Amino acid sequence: MNYSLKDKVELLSEAEKSLFFFTTKIFAKSFTNFVGGQYVEECCNYLQKYDRTMRVAFRSAFKSISFASYVMYIMMFRGLKEDLSMRYYSFNENLAGVHVQEIKTLIDKNPFF
């Protein structure tokens, strides 16, 4: 979809206020068929409300994807204003590498980045 400059400014302004809005309107552009919903909204609101968060959940529970969205959200709205330092802890080093590579791939696919 082609956005006018006014549309982009409004979209980015709203996205900066809400991780869920960012996730469904900007981050989702990294996927062919992104599925949102109430669970995604609850996860995003929790991540946005609590700065230091660890999530333990069942397989395919939007854990690594929500993390990727949150990292991209921080990069987009705080990365230009401050020097970012992020720490990522995972089950093991290989899994951490997979997640970091996944974020890089999602950034490459996203037209907003």
Q: Identify the band that residue 96 occupies on the pLDDT scale cut at 50, 70 and 90.
A: confident
Task: Give the whole-angstrom CA distance, residue 15 versus residue 26.
Answer: 8
User: Distances from the Cα of 109 to the Cαs of 56, 93, 94, 106, in angstroms?
Assistant: 27, 25, 23, 5
Q: Identify the band that residue 45 occupies on the pLDDT scale cut at 50, 70 and 90.
A: very high
Can you give the pLDDT at residue 107? 96
Q: Identify the band that residue 58 occupies on the pLDDT scale cut at 50, 70 and 90.
A: low
Query: 111 by DSSP, 3-state: which?
Result: coil
Task: Give the whole-angstrom CA distance, residue 23 versus residue 57.
Answer: 19
Q: What is the pTM of this model?
A: 0.85
